[in-house]
Structure 1
Amino acid sequence: MDQSLDIPLLDWVSQHWHFLALGLVVLVRLALVYGRSLQSQDRGLDPKTTAPHAFTYPSLSRCPVDVKDIAPRAYRPFKPHYHVTLSLRPMVWEDWIEVDRDFDKYYAIREFRVKTKAKDLILLEPDSSPRVGSAYSGVIELLHEMVHFLHARHPDMFAVTLNEKLGYAEYIQLNLPHQPRYALPPPLVVEGKLRTVTEDEARKALEVIALISQDDWALLVEGADERYYVQGGAILVPGSWRLKDKIGMALDDLHNEARVPQYKEKLEVGMSRFFKRIPVDKPATRNNYGFQVTRPSSSARDDVDPEDLAWATLHHGDEDSFGDGERHKTPARPLVSPETLRLRSERQSVRRLPLTGVVAFGIRTYLYNVEDLADEAGVAKRLASAVRSWTQDVHDYKGARLYSAELLKYLDSVVAEKGDEVGDEKPYPF
């Protein structure tokens, strides 16, 4: 019998802990007896990263602020001197998925993208390669992890309907004007056993993943060669790259093909080691930044995405005809002014899922008006210093030829007007 939850899912867990404990015991025994998952046996993978792990989640408390009152995070991930590093830091569990008052705007963009371009944006590699397994099971695991997290942290936005007889969430409903409601597949562990997941089931689940958070998601699976491959993803608002060009690629090949500055020299070894070793109980996060030009506000548009969050058209031209060789080749030079400049920052989260060993890579993209940034004490000077410290390869990679002259001219004028002010000392990346 179905029952709508009026209390957080964690309360239900506390009332039925004995059933969950029994399932955990069975799962631990499975891991001990078999030592590795069937996928690991088939492809010769390291059971330390691919076998099921017994893992006790840290407790999650309800966020004391309703989603409609949560301001977007004010990331300022630039230092006076730019260095090419991974810049990883430990992730706070309660911050895994960031939700804020712009959820409805992101949802409108993401829903439109799913309706119009799902075949290009939501992709899974088939489970047919002897080199690397599929992400099918990882998709189901990730979806249920997300539902649990979102309902526990933000029950005002995410309502869950529980199948009390079977003991798992069957639906998630979003507190938006049209109350979208999505069916959930059974979890991976049913009656103490890891079940099989079909491609069709995983694909439907991945579409739900795409719509219930403000993040994009990539699922990374370890291959027999100990490299990690992009085996699935819901990348709806990438700005400058397309999942259909990257799906199935190894991470190092992906970054080398994209000509990420100094990747081979400074990043490849460290990143490979990180993905190989990341444990289930130590998720990480990082931020990056760049700039894009959007249309002036005077351009009257009834657009679902007026800031070009999904695709930076003025930088890269038409999304459908875009190719890696066309990066930053715009159809015409855009109007660059303080009003049209945006700082684009990705807050990326990385965690290994305990049942499948799949690495879930979350990408939350923020756009900040450069005029608003420059109004903050000390930020204009710091940002100008950061941009001037870019090496030529970084300058080219970030498409700075389109905007750097106007950006630096504006930032310098702000510094000259305000003087050598110093803002409050804040830890990176704020």
Structure 2
Amino acid sequence: MAYTDQLLSTPTAASAVLFGIVVMGICIVLRLSHGRRAMQQPPGRAPLAHPGSEKAGGPCVSQEIYKTPTPPPYPDWSVVETKPLPYRAFRYGPKYQMTMGLRTIHPHQWIELDNQFPKYHADKAARIEERGDKCVKTAPEAFDAAIELLEELTDYLPARYPSLYKRTHEGIDNLWSGESFNIVERPLKEDPMAICARLVQDDLAVLLEQPDGQYRLLAGSILLAGFWRLSDKFGMTLSDVHTSGDVPHFREKLETGMNKFFRRMKCDTFHARNNYFFQVDDCLGWSSSMGDEDAQEVVRGTAQKDKAIEHHWFRSERQTLRRLPKTRAVVFTIRTYLVPVTEMAREPYVPGRLASAVRSWDELLSNYKGKEEYGAVLLDYLDEKHKEQVDNGLDLEKEDEVRSYPW
């Protein structure tokens, strides 16, 4: 990703003075104008101005902040009929490319819900009840950012999914579950990140920039992560979150670019990325392959090796990143999908491409993804299914005509 820095030539001393006087006058007018707008904000909402905020993603010179556009209703969305989108975010080998893998999405596509919402809602509610602040937590300095995220969801969801959510004067109603959430009362009935968690199928993480330029994880609801614990990562910098999890090649290939990207993120540009893993159990909240969730140290290797293919599950994530306009926090959404490998391998082109992708992992990535537990059984099965598809007339030359990444 390329960035361009524009340098301004230095004005003469006289023109600099004149320029400064003009800018001061404009700033006074704008501050007075902002003061009037701030007094007009509805109760419970933060004032519009925030130092360093942006309008349309650029530097804020007018003291107005970016307003997330109201999305249109998701076409024909139904809590019963709308199936999860089939993300298949893997590419052919022979070489695995370690990149951030970001793509730009429209703000309307921020949150995706489907007919698995009831299961995710129930699983999250149970884990909030059972595990509390091990999975859901907001640092005091991140409270405003968590509230802003809650406000953004409260505005977005009823517009995008009107058959599921209704906007109210106090907050938002879930028409399917009968829940009503008051987001303006203080104190709130529970952590704002817990309320956010109940509204969507995604896990959520909020990172705030620190005086040293580092971003720290200071609010989150990580309930269905499968492999990592919020209690381990809370308060860490973005780099430490990755290095503590032994993300392969992070230091040499990702760290510098990721930190630059975070600092330059604009409010009006939303991003998404996908990744994938495998596990040999169907546990959405916490995979048994990682051992006891409450163990002092989480390590792989506790799962039975070479289990039958019926126990292999393809676990993938759709992550989005955006900057909140008022608090300037960066929000991760992490939607997890869990699909049986035997089901996915029936899709045209998938078994051959997936087998090629798995074979492209180097040793570090293979260890990180736990390939030793399932690799032999998985690859034998995918090879068999790929051969069946080719024998039945699958035209490998036409794959690019029927699919595009990350589908």
Question: Shorter chain as normaliser: what TM range?
Answer: 0.7 to 0.9
Are residues 1:398 and 2:369 paired? yes
* Number of residue equivalences: 355
- Change beyond 3 A, Cα 1:57–1:336: same
Deviating more after overlay: 51-60 vs 151-160 = 51-60
Q: How far off is 1:181 after superposition?
A: 2.1
In 2, Cα distance between equivalents of 1:221 and 1:138: 8
Deviating more after overlay: 350-359 vs 117-126 = 117-126
Name the structure 2 match of 1:121: 135
Are residues 1:388 and 2:399 paired? no
Query: What is the 5 A alignment of 1:143-162?
Result: 143-162=150-169
Q: How far off is 1:57 after superposition?
A: 3.0
| CA contact 2:138–2:146 (8 Å) conserved in 1 | no
Q: How far off is 1:201 after superposition?
A: 4.5
Q: How far off is 1:64 after superposition?
A: 2.5
Name the structure 1 match of 2:290: 316
Name the structure 2 match of 1:329: 301
Q: How far off is 1:184 after superposition?
A: 1.3
Name the structure 2 match of 1:172: 172
In 2, Cα distance between equivalents of 1:236 and 1:291: 18
Are residues 1:428 and 2:405 paired? yes
- Change beyond 3 A, Cα 1:224–1:52: farther
In 2, Cα distance between equivalents of 1:87 and 1:265: 16
Contiguous gaps of at least 5 residues in structure 2? 1-36
- Change beyond 3 A, Cα 1:21–1:102: farther
Query: What is the 5 A alignment of 1:112-261?
Result: 112-126=126-140, 134-162=141-169, 170-176=170-176, 178-185=177-184, 201=188, 204-261=191-248
Determine helix, strand or coil for the equivalent of 1:54: coil
In 2, Cα distance between equivalents of 1:95 and 1:67: 16
Give the TM-score normalised by the residue count of structure 1: 0.77
Give the counterpart of 1:60 among 40, 57, 71.
71
- Match of 1:125, as an amino acid? A
Deviating more after overlay: 77-86 vs 335-344 = 335-344
> What's the CA shift string for 1:32-62, capped at 9, x where partnerless?
xxx459xxxxxxxxx969x975214334111
Root-mean-square deviation (CA, aligned residues, Å) is: 2.6
In 1, Cα distance between equivalents of 2:63 and 2:270: 17
Give the TM-score normalised by the residue count of structure 2: 0.81
In 1, Cα distance between equivalents of 2:63 and 2:203: 25
| CA contact 2:137–2:191 (8 Å) conserved in 1 | no
Give the counterpart of 1:342 among 271, 292, 313.
313
Contiguous gaps of at least 5 residues in structure 1? 1-18, 38-46, 127-133, 163-169, 187-197, 295-306
In 2, Cα distance between equivalents of 1:204 and 1:245: 19
Q: How far off is 1:419 after superposition?
A: 1.9
- Match of 1:106, as an amino acid? Y
Q: How far off is 1:204 after superposition?
A: 2.4
Q: How far off is 1:135 after superposition?
A: 1.2
Deviating more after overlay: 62-71 vs 373-382 = 62-71
Deviating more after overlay: 250-259 vs 215-224 = 250-259
| Structure of larger gyration radius | 2
- Match of 2:173, as an amino acid? Q
Name the structure 2 match of 1:270: 257
- Match of 2:179, as an amino acid? P
> What's the CA shift string for 1:68-94, capped at 9, x where partnerless?
221101000000122111000002211
In 2, Cα distance between equivalents of 1:136 and 1:27: 16
Determine helix, strand or coil for the equivalent of 1:67: coil
